[in-house]
Each structure stands twice: as C-alpha cells, then as structure tokens.
Structure 1
Amino acid sequence: MGAELILSVENDGRSVQARRRPDDKTARGTVRGFERGSLSRRTIRLFERWMRANKFSDPQEIVVFGQHLYQLLFDVDIERLFEESLSIARENGDRLRLQLSFEAGAAELANLPWEFLHYPRGDYFLCSHVDLVLSRYFPRHSRQTLRPEGTLRILVAVAKPTDLDPVLEARVIEAIERLAEAYPVRIEVLRKATVAAFTERMRTFQPHVLHFIGHGAFNAETGNGEIALLKPDERADWCSDSDFADWCSLSGVLPRLVVLHLCEGGRADLRESFGGLAPRLVQKGVQAVVAMQYPITNMAAIDFSRVFYEALMRGEPLDYAVQLGRQIFTTMRQHSARTFGTPVLYLHSADGLIQPADRSAVRPIEQPSHAALTPDDLLMGVRPRLERIADESRRSAVRKFALQIVEQLESLAPNLWVAHLRREWRLQFSMEGTTEQQDILEAMLTLLKERGV
C-alpha cells in the first residue's frame, strides 16, 4: 500500500486536519454547511432518512447526497492535499488509503454514511474507486498487525430468533465454507448462537475472524445498541453491545477481524446498533471491524463474502478487500442502489494484511453451479408489490410473510419451489388469508413461470 491520508474531525466538531503518511504533510480546514438550521444540514438529514428507508429511485440522487457529504469535509486546502496525494499514489502505481477519523465531540458527524462520499471533479464515489481504499480509523492504542500465526481460523456465528424476522444465512455460509477447498483455513459454523454456546466457542476455537449474522436493534431506554443472540427456547436474547464486545475477548485472545452483517430480514441501523458495537470492539483491541450499515439481500451477502474473503486469502490488505467487495455491487444491476456503500470498515491495523499461512497450498476454487433463479430473485421480484401496500403495519406483516416463504425455499431444491408455492397458496385461500399474501405468492409463481422453473 502506498500513501495514506487521514482526515480527522476534532472534538469541537468543526476543525478538520488532513495528515499524509509517510511524509506527515498536513492541511487544515473547517466543516462547512452543517450548522444547525442550515439548508445543507436539512438536505443531508433528508437524504439520510431516504437512505435508511432505501427510497432512492434514481442513482443521481445518491450522487447529490455524496457531493453534499464531500463539501462538509473537503475545503480548498484539504481537497488540494487529497488530489496531490491521489496523484502521487497513481504515479507510483499504488492506491491511496483514505481514512476518516472522528473524535468524541464529533459523534454526530461520525454517524453520517461517509461511504457515499462523491468526488465532484472526478465524478466517482470514493468508496468504490480503483485508485482508493476508504475506511474509518480509530487512533485508540498501538497499531498491530492482522496477520495470525498458523492456520487462519474463521468462526461464523448465526442467531435466528424464532420471534424475529427470518435470517437467510445458508448460501452465505456456503460461500464462506468453500474457501476451505482452496486455502489453508479452518472454518467453524455456530448455527445456534446462544450466549453459552457463543462464549464457549470463542474460548475453545479462538478465531482470528468472527463473522456474525443476525439482528441488531437500539434500546432507547439504555441508549445502547443490542445484538440478538438466542435463549434456550430460540427466542431473542437481547444483549448489550458492551456485553457482546466483552464476550469476544473471554478467551484472552481477541479476534483480529470481526464482520457484523445483516441479511434481508435482519433489522438494525448502524448508527444506533452495530455502529455502537464496532467502536466498542476496536476499543477492546480488535484491529478491524466490517459492519453492514443497512440490511442487505442474501445475494448481495454472497457476492460480498466471496470477493472479500478470497481477496483476504490471496494476501490483499483488508481495506482493499472491502473496496473490491463494494466494487462488485457497482457492476451488478440486481443489487439496490445503496448496496455499494453498505459495508463500513473500521480499521486500526498497521498493514491490514491477513495472509494464508502456506501460499503453496492454495488451490483454484471451483465455482458452484447455481440455479438460474434464486430465492433472493423472488424476494426482489415482489418488492414492487410490497411497496404498493399503503398501511405500514400491513406492509411489514406481508414482508415478514414473504421472508418466511423465501426461507422455506432456501431448504428446497428449485424443482420443488412451484409445488411448495402452490400448496402455500391453497393453504392461504382455505384459511381466508389476506389478499396481499396471496398476491405475493402469485407474483412468485409468475416469476418462476417466466424464468422456466
């Protein structure tokens, strides 16, 4: 990796310093346009609400949002240093490592989705450009290496509470497990993450990488983010983000990397749940955290996991692996417009490298032959019908029904999907189910017929 440029917003929430490494050249500036009551601030807050609700209908709207974010931090001197640093990196055949840092007094700014920063002169998003890698930086303690000794150990922990929306994890796990076919890596999957099972597996397996799939929420009474593990009866066991961070260190050996992600059906707002957990993990000593700031579809999680983990196993730096994962979303139309900016990287590693222990053991991965249509395609296909349901509580109930159907299809061979959907339709009709639920099933059957399944 070539030069790094660290942009730090100081405690007053207004002063910005840019420092380039390794030559320590600096520039100073001021946050512009985020004063209370200003039009720019109100516009950013409006765009932010649209982003959380996934309401962008035109990619150009995200460009405008990204340019508003850019203008907050990049005044004349800081922009000049950024452009100079990027030019130097390009001339040396390197990428510029751009890291954003926010001191405690700038928490409100830190909560903005900076992964959508858009550079107006070059007309590109910083988080997905080939010459850049974008991450968030926490200068809390001495920077260490991510590289483990011996075989890399990855623990995938899944929590699917029966009293919450389904979490569709099977194909994501399959994509991660396939790494063991090509790389010298040990992968364990904890499919029912109760507190006892999770802490025991952390203690005995001592993973270098923890990949958690599940639900997050915000507890307004305590003001803390929460993670849903499982009670013995498999209902949600809500745990504070501080407890979860403590459990990650019970073995005495912290994971070097923690990945926090929500598949479709998981619920969280990064700002209020996983966003609180990620800094806590870094403060505990975890060198890197990748968090999904919005729920993503199962298909998107598969694409990201495959590209991200394969890049790590090849010896690419962590921040570049995340950047590659973001880039894959920009080239695939089936993903929603905001997906490319969903992965957020919190990095405190000195080099960002996780390398395979034995390069000679690397074998090419044989890509699986997938069905022409996936359950995720069906879920995406019914979204326009869901959006037409005006009543929010009804829309939520029908969405949960659609997710349950998709989860059932995940466990079936594609040649059984039509029969299952027809049986479910007859069941809904006999029980006098809602018209919306029958409409969802009919939409899925129509899509299967159009695709010849």
Structure 2
Amino acid sequence: MTACNLVNFDVTIQGEQPPYPVHVAYQGHTATGEFGEDSTQELWRSHQRSLEQSAYVPDATGIVAAGSRLYHALLRSRVRDLWIRARADLEQERVDGLRLRLALHPPAVAALPWESLYDPDRNVPFAAGAGTPLVRVEPLYAHVGPARRLRVTLPAKVLIAVPDDPDELIDPDREIAGIRQVMQEIGGDYLELHELRGRFSVVQMRAKLHEARADALHFVGHGTAEGLQFWRNDRPAPAPAASLRATVARVRSVKFALLNTCLSGRSVGLTPFSSVGAQLLQAGLPAVVAMQYPIRDDAAIDFAHFFYEELLCGACPGAIDLAVDAARSSLYALNPGDFSYGTPMLWLNAEDGCVFVPSGGPASELHEAPPAYAILDIGAESRWLDEMEAIDLHSLPVEYGVIRSKWQHLLDELRYLLHQVRALAGQPAAAAYAAKLAEYKRYKASLLRLQRLLDEATGRR
C-alpha cells in the first residue's frame, strides 16, 4: 500500500495590506478568513534573522516559535475547522496524504518563512512531516503563463552545471558523487547525467542544455537574491535572474530546476517575481526548487543526495513534491535546530508532483523484475523487522516526534508488504511478485536510511 495519491489543500492569500483575505479549499469544501502577518513587521524581521543564523547557531526554539506563529495566524476559525477535517481524513486513512498548496499573492506575505509552518499541538513541522508536503504555487495568469508538460520519458536527462568556484568553498565532486551513488544503488537507467564545468557563461550553459536536450537543470554554485555567478572573459560574472529566465525560456525541453545555491529563492525586497526561482517559473517550468536563505555546503550536498534518493527509489518514484518533503525530513532528523531543512522552497505549478514518472506506465514499472532465483528469505526478513521493532525511540526528544511516526509507518508498511510477498512466493517469476518485491525493497531502503540518520543525529552506534 503506497501513499502516492495526495489530495490538495489549497490556501490563497490576497490583498494589499493586513488583514489579508484568506480562502481555502479542500475536496469541494471552502472556508474564508483573515491573515494579519507580513514580513514588514519587526517581529518577522527578527524571526527571519533567527532562522538564517540557525545554520550556524542551532535554534530549535526560535524555529518552532516562527512556525507556530504562522500556524495560529493562518488556521483560525472556519479555516482551522476545514484543516481539522482534512487532517482527520489523513489520520483515518481516507486520503493518502495532503498536499498543502500555498498561493501567496501579497509579496510581504510570500516573503514569510512558510516552510517553518509548525503545528504546536501535534509537534509537527509541515515541511518535514509525513503526509503533508508543502509547496508554493503561482496561479495568476497575469504573472505566470502556461506551464510546460510535466512528465518525461526515462532516462531523465539532467544537466549539472558547476561554474568554477573562485573562493574554493564548494565541493561539487561530493554532490555529484552522491547522485551517482544513488543511480548505482537502484541499478536502473533512470537518470542520464550531463556535466558542465569550468569557466562558462550563462549562454554557454544554454547551449549545453540544448545539446543534451535536458529535462532538468541542477545548478551548483554561488548566488544572491539578484542572480547566479557564472564566468565571462575568464572573470567571475553574475547573471541576473532575468538572464536565467531568458536562458530557460529558449530551452523547451527543461521541466525542472534545482538551484542548489544560496538565496536563489529570495525576492529582492518586496518586488514580486524578482527571485531567480520565481523567474524560472515565469519561463514555463512547472517545478523549481531554490534556496531562500544562505545554505552551508554540507547541507546543500545532503539535500541533493536525499532528494535524488527519494525521487528515484523512494516509495513514490518520480514525485517531486514527495522527494523534496523526504529530503527536508532527513535534514530535520539530522538537526531540528538547523533551519536548513526549510531553506529549500518548492514552486509547483501543477495539480500533482509527478514529474519524472514516465507517461507509459505506473511507477512500479520503473523497476526491472528480478530473476526467478532472487526469492526473498521471508524468515530472515521477519527477524530483521523484529529487530527494528525492538529499537527504542521513545527516549528521543519531543522534536523527533515526526521521525518516530515515520519510523512506525515504515515498519507497518514493511509488515504488510512482507505478508503480500509471502503470498506471491509460489510464483516468483510473475510480474506481480517482482513488483511487490521491488516495493518491499524500496521501503526497506527508506527505513535503513532513516536508521542511519537517527544514528548520526543522536550519536548512537
């Protein structure tokens, strides 16, 4: 049982000054309210500084305070009633998951750190929780035209663009090695990586995107709110957001961009659509990930590794929003006091996040059937699950509640899948057995990754 079909919970905030009108929609039901916060208020300037500094001075209390304030300001009265109804559907398994889609029209509201949104009653950070991925959308046709077609056929062609770093602060080799490691682990030709390195300009990057017929752009380098750093005439030369938009607009094959660089998601002041990420959305990309704060190189590398790991071999291969959600959750597990987990912003101008699922069939078809002799040892797997069940997570701090929940969810799914694999074991050559075995292995890999994260975060060995 794979929870890949999420239901949208749409939040729209409009207006020019507080209190801003709020409209929410969920499965044919709507509610309205008001929102009184924006980034011009001194309290939010303080919260923003705290979140930015948490990458170097951990501040779990400050992160929770900012996220809780957003939660109480947004989810009030009838809006809260509709959210409680949606959450009940999730908890009672009437829906697989809730995709929280934020359409934030006022620039001062969009500039708030929505990725910090936190339910203080349940101790759940939305951006790192299980079953509630948080995405931003830009539905106004006046600003964003039609998005390109989402789905691509495999292998998905990804251009990793890495301009030379004059300060030698970035380790692109480690980031790329992590992606190739994921490709090797899944044993399939799901990604086709192309690399562009050296002292190249934005125009040369466009030529390489054309040459590779790239489906995705993964940029590794330095950036500011105004643009990204390239080279020109053998000297560092920033390319403004407008240059990036013009570049991507002329390469129609590109569907997705991951800007793994500082401040690529931050707007310039309160000017709408001034960030690099937002302007790529205007160029027609249906999905863009960009960073709203400075991000340490090790956190950026970890995010990329976790993202591709979940995108290619997670429970729902090809789901961009769930891959970002899982990567955020992994960063949160490493250090809940470091807002690096909420630094990546995902703009998703589509009804769902299925970007890299081929149009020819379901996700389970991405995995090759194992040979007839590759039969799972049911007894050994049952004993392993017993060992995992015996691990005591109740002593973890309260902020790890979402991790405990995810751990138990994975164990429950693995028990269920193992029962199904046992029932199909008499026909190991059949497609049904192969698909179910592949699903079991994906969930097992997810649990093992979570165990490694917990060991690293808590110092257990």
Q: TM-score, normalised by structure 2?
A: 0.68
Q: How far, CA to CA, are the matches of 1:150 and 1:177 in structure 2? A: 16
Is 1:15 equivalent to 2:20 in the alignment? yes
Distance change >3 Å, CA 297–CA 15, structure 1 → 2: closer
Distance change >3 Å, CA 336–CA 48, structure 1 → 2: same
> Counterpart in 2 of 1:291?
290
| 1:142 positional shift | 4.5
Residue of 197, 213, 222 corresponding to 2:220: 213
| 1:145 positional shift | 4.7
Check conservation: 1:145, 1:353, Cα contact below 8 A.
no
> Counterpart in 2 of 1:78?
79
> Counterpart in 1 of 2:388?
none
Q: How far, CA to CA, are the matches of 2:149 and 2:182 in structure 1? A: 22
Residue of 173, 177, 182 corresponding to 1:174: 177
Check conservation: 1:4, 1:98, Cα contact below 8 A.
yes
| 1:89 positional shift | 2.7
Q: How far, CA to CA, are the matches of 1:143 and 1:250 in structure 2? A: 14
Q: How far, CA to CA, are the matches of 1:229 and 1:288 in structure 2? A: 23
Check conservation: 1:261, 1:292, Cα contact below 8 A.
yes
Deviations 1:28-70 (A, max 9, x none): 111125597xxxx322221112222336543112111111222
Distance change >3 Å, CA 156–CA 35, structure 1 → 2: closer
> Counterpart in 1 of 2:276?
277
> Counterpart in 2 of 1:229?
230
Deviations 1:82-124 (A, max 9, x none): 1211211332251110011112xx1011011110011122222
Q: How far, CA to CA, are the matches of 1:248 and 1:31 in structure 2? A: 35
Give, as a single letter, the amino acid of the residue that structure 1 aligns with 2:21: V
| 1:352 positional shift | 1.1
Is 1:317 equivalent to 2:319 in the alignment? yes
Deviations 1:390-426 (A, max 9, x none): xxxxxxxxxxxxxxxxxxxxxxxxxxxxxxxxxxxxx
| 1:161 positional shift | 4.2
| 1:18 positional shift | 3.4
Check conservation: 1:15, 1:28, Cα contact below 8 A.
no
Give, as a single letter, the amino acid of the residue that structure 1 aligns with 2:321: D
Give, as a single letter, the amino acid of the residue that structure 2 aligns with 1:148: V
Q: How far, CA to CA, are the matches of 2:171 and 2:274 in structure 1? A: 22
> Counterpart in 1 of 2:156?
152
Is 1:326 equivalent to 2:328 in the alignment? yes
Q: How far, CA to CA, are the matches of 1:177 and 1:118 in structure 2? A: 34
SS of the aligned residue for 2:308 comes to: helix
> Counterpart in 1 of 2:260?
261
| 1:9 positional shift | 1.0
Distance change >3 Å, CA 359–CA 34, structure 1 → 2: closer
Check conservation: 1:229, 1:239, Cα contact below 8 A.
yes
Correspondence list, 1:402-417, <5 A? none
| 1:259 positional shift | 0.4
SS of the aligned residue for 2:301 comes to: helix
Check conservation: 2:162, 2:219, Cα contact below 8 A.
yes
Correspondence list, 1:14-413, <5 A? 14-21=19-26, 23-34=27-38, 41-54=41-54, 57-91=58-92, 92-103=94-105, 106-139=106-139, 140-142=144-146, 145-162=149-166, 164=167, 166-181=169-184, 182-184=187-189, 185-192=191-198, 193-218=200-225, 225-233=226-234, 235-251=235-251, 253-262=252-261, 270-272=266-268, 276-314=275-313, 315-333=317-335, 337-355=338-356, 357=358, 359-361=366-368
Check conservation: 2:264, 2:276, Cα contact below 8 A.
no
| 1:236 positional shift | 1.5
Gaps of 5+ in 1: 219-224, 364-453
Distance change >3 Å, CA 310–CA 34, structure 1 → 2: closer
Check conservation: 1:156, 1:188, Cα contact below 8 A.
yes
Root-mean-square deviation (CA, aligned residues, Å) is 2.6
Q: How far, CA to CA, are the matches of 1:144 and 1:4 in structure 2? A: 20
Give, as a single letter, the amino acid of the residue that structure 1 aligns with 2:135: S
* More displaced stretch, 6-15 vs 150-159: 6-15
Distance change >3 Å, CA 200–CA 186, structure 1 → 2: same
> Counterpart in 2 of 1:409?
none
Deviations 1:129-181 (A, max 9, x none): 1121101011144566521034210111012342x563221100111223443
Gaps of 5+ in 2: 359-364, 371-461
Give, as a single letter, the amino acid of the residue that structure 1 aligns with 2:352: D
Q: How far, CA to CA, are the matches of 2:345 and 2:39 in structure 1? A: 26
Check conservation: 1:257, 1:289, Cα contact below 8 A.
yes
> Counterpart in 2 of 1:4?
8
SS of the aligned residue for 2:133 comes to: strand
Q: How far, CA to CA, are the matches of 1:84 and 1:100 in structure 2? A: 18
Deviations 1:353-396 (A, max 9, x none): 13455614499xxxxxxxxxxxxxxxxxxxxxxxxxxxxxxxxx
Check conservation: 1:143, 1:350, Cα contact below 8 A.
no
- Give the share of equivalent positions with the same residue, in percent: 24
Distance change >3 Å, CA 362–CA 290, structure 1 → 2: farther
SS of the aligned residue for 1:191 comes to: strand
Check conservation: 1:155, 1:211, Cα contact below 8 A.
yes
Distance change >3 Å, CA 312–CA 16, structure 1 → 2: farther
Q: TM-score, normalised by structure 1?
A: 0.69
Q: How far, CA to CA, are the matches of 1:98 and 1:170 in structure 2? A: 35
SS of the aligned residue for 2:204 comes to: helix
Q: How far, CA to CA, are the matches of 1:309 and 1:167 in structure 2? A: 19
Q: How far, CA to CA, are the matches of 1:195 and 1:203 in structure 2? A: 13
> Counterpart in 2 of 1:418?
none
